[in-house]
Homo-oligomer: A and B are copies of this chain.
């Protein structure tokens, strides 16, 4: 699956249980007000079809690739049969699902309490610590996508990144981003 490809389309009937083997994807939805909103990102070994996969008939979100990715699809009915027949598997699945949705919930609650700088810092630290495990990486999302994720305007996301750049907290060359002063970035994340 190439960058930009659509893996799941909002409204599609759920037929498969999907997990990500390689790459990076974004989960997003069209909100009631018609705006596109990014729900979360999926990295290797994350279950992409987490939300609503067992609770609904149709996907209420879309998934597309931010990088070239490899996804594994399992027939949903087979997974359901496996849950019924294999108790260990069922329990393990519940735990995995719980962990993932907890993380999404806690993260969006975190964002709700933060202001612009804190939210942007939060996203940068997420990619640095959780996804790439490095202080230098290629930012996989545009300013617009970051805005759609943190619930701020594009202009202000750009301004925040510019401010971090001017304060020598980060360095930006095109898509390449390096975190120069992680301590201060974490402070931005902690204090509002």
Contacts and interface: CB of A to CB of B under 8 A. Distances in A.
A86 B91 CA distance: 11
Contacts of A87: 83-87, 90
A151 B97 CA distance: 26
Interface stretch (A29-37, A66-74, A123-131, A136-144): A29-37
Interface in A80-138: 80, 83-88, 90-91, 93-99, 101-102, 104-106, 108-113
A104 B105 CA distance: 7
A111 B192 CA distance: 18
A95 B37 contact: no
Copies of this protein in the assembly total 2
A105 B102 contact: no
A150 to B, nearest CB: 8
A37 B113 contact: yes
Chain A residues touching B, range: 35 or more
Interface stretch (A3-11, A51-59, A158-166, A176-184): A51-59
A113 B83 contact: no
Contact of A93 (B94, B110, B190, B191): B94
Interface string A9-44: 000000000000000000001011101010100000
A112 B111 contact: yes
B98 A91 contact: no
Contacts of A90: 83-84, 87, 90-91, 94
Contacts of A102: 51-52, 55-56, 60, 101
Nearest to A151: B112
A35 B109 CA distance: 12
Interface of A: 29, 31-33, 35, 37, 39, 51-56, 60, 80, 83-88, 90-91, 93-99, 101-102, 104-106, 108-113, 150-151, 190-192
